[in-house]
Structure 1
Amino acid sequence: MQDRPEDIPTQPAGQTPTQPGFTAPSAPSPALQPQPQAQALPQPRPELTPGQSPAQNPGQAATSTFGAPPGYPPAQQYTYGQPHGYPPPPGGKGTAGRAVLWVVVGAVAASALWAGGLFLLGPWGEDPDLAGYRAKANLCSAVDYTALMTEYGEEDDLPTHNSLKHKAIDQSYCSISLKTSSSSSYADAYLSVQMDLHKKTDPAPEFTAVWSEYDQRYEDYEVEEVSGIGDEAYLLTEDTTSGTGTSGSRAVILAVRDGWMTYQMSWSAYTSSYETSTPPDIDKVSRWVRTDTRSTLENLRSE
């Protein structure tokens, strides 16, 4: 047996000799031991420290100095609650507060709408201003055309009438054939009367637009505003008769608004169907229509 050289140090008992560039494996830390999982999820490949092999720590959980592995981002923290675009979780802390918040928002919105309704319709909604007029099932029974009978002495025994009754509007209509004499085979002229009672909306703006600008639609008509009949009235006249008086037509319309009641009396005649000479001139018929309108409106109030 050879003696050990004196320059080689004695190794402690149980210690493995080391070589340059080699690191002795260390015992796994208890904190790095695999923990029980609530659900079986695929485990990422463990990261190794320099000089460590998988055989040295086969059960070590995956760790990374750069955070979680791809595909498993950490849960983002929102200081002010749920991020924008995500619905609130059902139940749990904060649900009652959100419910109270929505109740308050709904109450404020309802109050705003209610206040807007009061502003537009008045304290309890606006009642229709029917100015004392009443709907007639047979409007012809209330039409007075005494002034027109100056020209047309033959009274129509079978005038046509119809009516409509609704919670929003009542309408009554009458059509009368006018004859200059009993010898006339056909009507020499026609008279129509219509009354509308508007019970839900004020007709004033639309009435003004339609009748004051009537000549925009029909170029042959002339429009004249009339005072002293209702709240607003327009006289519309048309005369397309030729110089010889053998062709063309003449027409007169008086449109009246009184409160939420609207009314029209219309007269028309065709020269070709007139039994004797030509229809009366426009100015004369306009006077008759004004007179008969006033008396007819009185009848519609009193009956």
Structure 2
Amino acid sequence: MSHSGDQNNPYSQPQPHPYGQVPAPQNPVPPQQNPYAQQSIPQGQAGGYGYPAPGVPAPPPGPPAGAPVTAPGGGAGRGVSGWLWALGGVVAASAIWGSVLFATGGFSSEPSPDLAGYAYTGDLCADTSLTPFENAHFRTKANTGTTSKDANPQHSGAQLASLDTMTCNVSFDQDGTSSSGYSSTWLYSTATLHRKTDPTPEFADTYRSYEKQDTSVAYRVETVPGLGDEAYLVTRQDDASTSNSSYVILGVRDGWLTYQSTWSSYTSSSSGSTSNQPTATEVATMLKTSATETLKRLQNSRSQ
């Protein structure tokens, strides 16, 4: 019979491992630190955020918030932030220079207009030379109406942002013409100051196109030397049955000014003056002489 006092207390003695003797680990793992625990890292110690690496001394304490940065020698605003001041100066200078370029058109791709000294006039007729036609026995037809639309000569003009336009139309009577017949002689003149677009690239083709157009009426185009930068004369080719009419155009470009004068004339056989009609060559001479004087006057015109 056993006594309770003779039995070993299972909680007072170490119990054998149920799987036998367990060898000690070869590479014991050191205890892990709690990653959420707050670590107190002294200033200058490596391994903490905001601290220098080993061997690098900690920077001296900075100035308090809001205090100016003082450079060596006592200059405020330099040192660490000196490059910011320099960059700010460059930006400010660039902004000022950009404003100047915009104000003066420095960034504009549009070329400056070459007006060659010409100016707008509200009355082109006042500057149009009629002397060559008067010398050929043509006189300005008298006004027969009472309104401005019946005026002779008739002028108009407009100043716009891209161009200025001027026109003058004059109706003539020829000396010796009978009132029983019909005659009509006109001089149409236009002048344009191009302020935005250079007319040079298209000017020649404007008049060369008369020779190329598909029409039953034939035209001859000639260059005219010594008049502006370039000039062209367009003459309609008439057969013998229409020799009592003429149609001649003179186009001139001088810089960005373009000028055109057109002579259009018709006289019926009953007017009694068909034999006195000027030839196309004579009309061309009158147009060139008139244009030369008219362009000189336009260079001296003042805006009205």
What TM-score, normalized to structure 1?
0.55
Report the 3-state secondary structure (helix = DSSP H, G, I; strand = E; otherwise coil) of the residue aligned with 2:128. Answer: coil
d(CA) in 2 for partners of 1:239 and 1:188?
19
Question: 1:197: Cα distance to partner?
Answer: 0.4
Q: 1:167 matched to which residue of 2?
A: 161
Q: For the structure 1 residues 275 and 256, does the alpha-carbon distance in structure 2 shift closer, same or farther, using more than 3 Å as the test?
A: farther
Q: For the structure 1 residues 206 and 268, does the alpha-carbon distance in structure 2 shift closer, same or farther, using more than 3 Å as the test?
A: same
d(CA) in 2 for partners of 1:244 and 1:261?
34
d(CA) in 2 for partners of 1:241 and 1:251?
13
* Equivalent of residue 256 in structure 1, options 252, 257, 272: 252
Q: 2:97 matched to which residue of 1?
A: none
Q: For the structure 1 residues 160 and 244, does the alpha-carbon distance in structure 2 shift closer, same or farther, using more than 3 Å as the test?
A: closer
Residues 250 and 260 of structure 2 are in contact (CA less than 8 Å); yes or no, is this contact kept in structure 1? yes
* Equivalent of residue 281 in structure 2, options 277, 280, 283: 283
1:33-92 CA deviation, whole Å, 9 max, x = no partner?
Answer: xxxxxxxxxxxxxxxxxxxxxxxxxxxxxxxxxxxxxxxxxxxxxxxxxxxxxxxxxxxx
Taking the TM superposition and a 5 Å limit, the aligned residue runs for 1:1-303 are 125-157=110-142, 158-181=152-175, 185=179, 188-217=184-213, 219-243=217-241, 245=243, 249-272=245-268, 276-278=273-275, 279-303=277-301
Question: 1:230: Cα distance to partner?
Answer: 0.5
d(CA) in 2 for partners of 1:182 and 1:133?
39
- The amino acid of 2:263's aligned partner reads W
Report the 3-state secondary structure (helix = DSSP H, G, I; strand = E; otherwise coil) of the residue aligned with 1:147. Answer: helix
d(CA) in 1 for partners of 2:286 and 2:298?
18
d(CA) in 2 for partners of 1:190 and 1:177?
5
1:96-132 CA deviation, whole Å, 9 max, x = no partner?
Answer: xxxxxxxxxxxxxxxxxxxxxxxxx987542100111
Q: For the structure 1 residues 187 and 300, does the alpha-carbon distance in structure 2 shift closer, same or farther, using more than 3 Å as the test?
A: farther
d(CA) in 2 for partners of 1:221 and 1:167?
35
Q: 1:104 matched to which residue of 2?
A: none
Q: For the structure 1 residues 122 and 226, does the alpha-carbon distance in structure 2 shift closer, same or farther, using more than 3 Å as the test?
A: farther
Question: 1:275: Cα distance to partner?
Answer: 5.2
Report the 3-state secondary structure (helix = DSSP H, G, I; strand = E; otherwise coil) of the residue aligned with 1:202. Answer: coil
- Aligned-pair identity in percent equals 36
Residues 178 and 187 of structure 1 are in contact (CA less than 8 Å); yes or no, is this contact kept in structure 2? no
Question: 1:239: Cα distance to partner?
Answer: 3.5
Report the 3-state secondary structure (helix = DSSP H, G, I; strand = E; otherwise coil) of the residue aligned with 1:131. Answer: coil
d(CA) in 2 for partners of 1:244 and 1:220?
13
- The amino acid of 2:118's aligned partner reads Y
- The amino acid of 1:283's aligned partner reads T
d(CA) in 2 for partners of 1:164 and 1:286?
28
d(CA) in 1 for partners of 2:168 and 2:272?
24
Report the 3-state secondary structure (helix = DSSP H, G, I; strand = E; otherwise coil) of the residue aligned with 1:130. Answer: coil
Note the aligned Cα RMSD (angstroms): 2.6
Question: 1:184: Cα distance to partner?
Answer: 5.7
- The amino acid of 2:204's aligned partner reads T
Unmatched tracts of structure 1, length 5 or more: 1-120
Higher relative CO (Cα under 8 Å, sequence separation at least 6) belongs to 2
Question: 1:188: Cα distance to partner?
Answer: 3.7
1:203-231 CA deviation, whole Å, 9 max, x = no partner?
Answer: 11121221123222254210001111011
d(CA) in 2 for partners of 1:201 and 1:275?
48
Number of residue pairs matched? 183
Q: For the structure 1 residues 225 and 180, does the alpha-carbon distance in structure 2 shift closer, same or farther, using more than 3 Å as the test?
A: same
d(CA) in 2 for partners of 1:148 and 1:122?
48
Q: For the structure 1 residues 182 and 166, does the alpha-carbon distance in structure 2 shift closer, same or farther, using more than 3 Å as the test?
A: farther
d(CA) in 2 for partners of 1:133 and 1:286?
24
Report the 3-state secondary structure (helix = DSSP H, G, I; strand = E; otherwise coil) of the residue aligned with 1:213. Answer: helix
d(CA) in 1 for partners of 2:229 and 2:106?
22
